[in-house]
Amino acid sequence: MRRKATAPSTPDRSSYHHGTLRQSLLEAGEALLREKGFKGFTLRECARRAGVSHAAPKHHFGDVKGFLTEIAAGGFDELTRMLRERIADATTLDEEFIATTRAYVEFAQAQPEHFRIMFRDDLLCAESDRLATAMQLTFTELTNVILRQRGEPEIRCEEVERDQSIVAILDDIMIGWCHVHGLAHLILERQLPPVPAELQDGMLITVSTRLAQLIQHGGKS
């Protein structure tokens, strides 16, 4: 029955109107995801944790699909943030590519259930602008890594849609994007051949470095 002490002047007053219910539900959802995983993730439990009745979420998110869409968008925001942070720390191009791969993989390992939802087209509503924008921001970050590898000018998020410079290097984007995502997903779902954990990062470095060189050289030779 505890309430968030943020919005109203009365901090812990039990009032009919929650005030920040939408945000509280999202936070409850993310916490639940971490603690109980996807199978323990229910709308009713989120409502319980936010201290409201079981039907309260409906007004803010419609149905469970709408709720998951917001959760996924938040995941892409966080992933974008992590990518930017790591990329900023890198000093060379090779290092940047490795840092990107590492950040992506580590996000998937640190927030496995969150990551799974982000890449479940059947659970999300594709019409959501909120989600589309968050995804595009992540994609822009990854694309710019490739563009820098090739010594070409970066793009801004708004230019991504059907941008010509992107189409021109689509092959390279695909190589980088598939590499990074495939690795993260396979590790997450434990589908990899038996690699000792301590060798994993070394392998990540070797593979990333070779792919980075391939991308730097472009299609030629």
Partner DNA sequence: AGTTTCATTTTGACATTGTCAAGATCAATT
Partner DNA sequence: AATTGATCTTGACAATGTCAAAATGAAACT
Q: What residues make contact with a copy of itself under the rule CB under 8 A?
A: 37-39, 112-113, 116, 119-122, 126, 135, 139, 143, 160-162, 166, 170-171, 173-175, 177-183, 185-186, 188-195, 203, 206-207, 210-211, 214, 219
Select the binding partner of residue 3 from DNA, a copy of itself, none (C-beta < 5 to 8 A, by kind).
Answer: none
Stretch that binds DNA, among 17-25, 103-111, 127-135, 146-154 (CB under 7 A): 17-25
Q: Give Cβ neighbours of residue 72 (< 8 Å, ≥ 6 apart).
A: 117, 118, 120, 123, 124, 131, 134
- Sequence length of the chain is 221
Site for DNA in 201-220 (CB under 7 A): none
* Closest approach of a copy of itself to the CB of residue 80, in Å: 14
Choice between 20 and 42, CB closer to a copy of itself: 42
Q: Give Cβ neighbours of residue 196 (< 8 Å, ≥ 6 apart).
A: none
Which amino acid does the sequence have at 187?
Answer: I
Give backbone dihedrals phi and psi of 62, rounded to 5 degrees, phi first: 80, -95
CA proximity to 104, closest of 118, 93, 120: 118
d(CA 182, CA 89): 24
By CB under 7 A, is residue 52 in contact with DNA? Answer: yes
Question: Which residue in 28, 56, 83, 134 binds DNA (CB under 7 A)?
Answer: 56
Rounded (10°) angle between helices 129-149 and 170-188: 110
Give me the 64-103 binding string for DNA, x by CB under 7 A, dash otherwise. xx--------------------------------------
Q: Give Cβ neighbours of residue 184 (< 8 Å, ≥ 6 apart).
A: 104, 105, 107, 108, 109, 115
Give me the 118-157 binding string for DNA, x by CB under 7 A, dash otherwise. ----------------------------------------
* Closest approach of a copy of itself to the CB of residue 183, in Å: 5
CA proximity to 78, closest of 27, 6, 41, 38: 27
CA proximity to 29, closest of 54, 49, 12: 49
By CB under 7 A, is residue 60 in contact with DNA? Answer: yes
Residues that bind DNA (CB under 7 A): 15-19, 21, 42-45, 47, 52-56, 58-60, 63-65
